[in-house]
């Protein structure tokens, strides 16, 4: 049974005409993934072969798990996703579950978690009053309880999918802590978060049913596209790659084509788990 959450109407308060934002990419952890994670092998049994069970972990690829601190001149600081909880650094089972601990190889220190990084950028983590969730997979929602003062906005279809799904679908339902302020938003194609054009949301299903990508207007007027997991890496966009895991193949490709079109007019693009892209983004987009 899906747990009901209240609806949040868009735009939310805090918009300012002509506003631009500052964006701080946060690398909350690294995780090993099979070499075929970014591109599913073709032919029969491609998914099974792509799992990499026959490939030594030394040949797996390292993927970053990001979160983003965004500073709006009127609405204040907010997060896009939360990355992994600080407790994962010492005991992944505590936050991700025992099965996940056995499956995943994670490289993380407690200070890599979003609260420490937010604090290191001069923002009090307790002052974060808004978190925009691109989707609710464990690597994006793991750290939610670290921001108890925030309202968490999630596309309503994503909330429903996460409440029905489990580990095989990429969700860990204890992350959907009912003590947090979850609010459902309805994004029919595109929506404006603050009503001022600074943060535009795009429904990009396929990776998950309610997945969102963002186009942000920076302080200097440049456009930054955050694809989240609708495109794992820049080469996903360049070569129209289908990754190892997708929720719905046709919807994924339709969303990917939309992002490819958006990327042509964006000044900067940061994809969901692209180590090179996140490295290039290190610092501040102003």
Strand, helix or coil for residue 243:
coil
Read off the pLDDT of residues 146-205 as tens digits, 9 standing for 90 and up: 999 999 999 999 999 999 999 999 999 999 999 999 999 999 999 999 999 999 999 999
b/e per residue 41-78 (b: at least 16 CB within 10 A): eeeeeeeebbebeeeeeeebbebbbbbbbbbbeebebb
CATH of domain 22-280: 3.60.15.10
Bond from prior residue into 279 cis (ω within 30 degrees of 0): no
Q: Where are the domains of the chain?
A: 22-280
Q: Tell how strand 76-80 and strand 106-107 pair up.
A: unpaired
Strand, helix or coil for residue 266:
coil
Note the pLDDT of residue 1: 54
Q: Cα 181 to chain center, whole Å?
A: 18
Q: How far apart are CA 186 and CA 158, in angstroms?
A: 10
Nearest to 114 by CA among 101, 104, 125, 127: 125
Read off the pLDDT of residues 203-248 as tens digits, 9 standing for 90 and up: 999 999 999 999 999 999 999 999 999 999 999 999 999 999 999 9
Mean pLDDT of 17-22: 97
Contact yes or no for 233/177 (Cβ under 8 A)? no
pLDDT more than 90, % of the chain: 85
Nearest to 176 by CA among 156, 159, 197: 159
Q: How far apart are CA 145 and CA 86, in angstroms?
A: 10
Fill in the DSSP letter of residue 231. Answer: S
Read off the pLDDT of residues 75-91 as tens digits, 9 standing for 90 and up: 999 999 999 999 999 99
pTM for this prediction: 0.96
Establish how many alpha carbons lie within 13 A of residue 66's alpha carbon, considering only the half-sphere containing its beta carbon.
28
């Amino acid at each position: 049974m899906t747990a009901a959450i209240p609806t949040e109407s868009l735009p939310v308060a805090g918009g300012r005409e002509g506003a631009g934002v500052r964006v701080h990419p946060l690398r909350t952890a690294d995780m090993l993934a099979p070499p075929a994670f970014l591109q599913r092998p073709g032919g029969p049994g491609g998914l099974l072969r792509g799992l990499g069970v026959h490939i030594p972990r030394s040949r797996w690829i390292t993927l970053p798990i990001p979160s983003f601190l965004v500073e709006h001149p009127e609405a204040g600081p907010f997060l896009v996703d939360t990355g992994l909880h600080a407790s994962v650094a010492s005991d992944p089972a505590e936050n991700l579950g025992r099965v996940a601990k056995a499956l995943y190889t994670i490289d993380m220190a407690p200070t890599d978690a979003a609260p420490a990084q937010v604090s290191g950028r001069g923002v009090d983590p307790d002052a974060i009053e808004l978190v925009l969730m691109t989707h609710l997979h464990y690597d994006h929602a793991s750290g939610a309880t670290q921001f108890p003062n925030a309202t968490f906005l999630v596309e309503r279809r994503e909330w429903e999918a996460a409440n029905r799904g489990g580990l095989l679908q990429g969700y860990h339902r204890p992350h959907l802590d009912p003590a947090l302020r979850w609010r459902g938003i309805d994004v029919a194609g595109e929506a404006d978060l603050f009503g001022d054009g600074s943060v535009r949301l795009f429904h990009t299903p396929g990776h998950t049913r309610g997945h969102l990508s963002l186009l942000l207007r920076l302080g200097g007027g440049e456009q930054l596209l955050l694809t989240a997991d609708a495109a794992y890496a820049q080469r996903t966009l360049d070569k129209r790659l289908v990754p190892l895991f997708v929720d719905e193949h046709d919807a994924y490709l339709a969303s990917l084509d939309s992002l490819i079109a958006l990327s042509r007019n964006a000044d900067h693009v940061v994809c969901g788990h692209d180590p090179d892209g996140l490295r290039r983004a290190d610092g501040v987009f102003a």
